[in-house]
Amino acid sequence: MFLELIAVIFAGIAVAGVVMLINSVTGTRLPRWLAPVAAGLAMIAVTVTSEYSWYSRTLTSLPAGLVVADTVESRSFYRPWTYIVPLNERFVAVDLATMRSHPKQPDQHLAEVFFFGRWAPISQLSIAADCASWRRAAVEAETNLAQDGGIHGVNWVSPPAEDHLLLSICGS
Q: At 96, is the secondary structure helix, strand, or coil?
A: strand
Q: For residue 142, is pLDDT > 80?
A: no
Q: What distance, in Å, lies between the first and last C-alpha atoms of the chain?
A: 35
Indicate the DSSP class of residue 157: B
| pLDDT band for position 105 (cuts 50, 70, 90) | confident
Q: For residue 153, is pLDDT > 80?
A: no
pTM above 0.85, yes or no: no
| Higher pLDDT, residue 148 or 168 | 168
Q: For residue 10, is pLDDT > 70?
A: yes
Q: What is the pLDDT of residues 58-90, one digit of tens each?
A: 999 999 999 999 999 999 998 888 999 999 999
Phi-psi region of 4 (alpha: psi -120 to 50; beta: other; left: phi over 0): alpha
| Cα–Cα distance, 16 to 18 (Å, whole number) | 5
Q: At 130, is the secondary structure helix, strand, or coil?
A: strand
At residue 148, the pLDDT reads 62
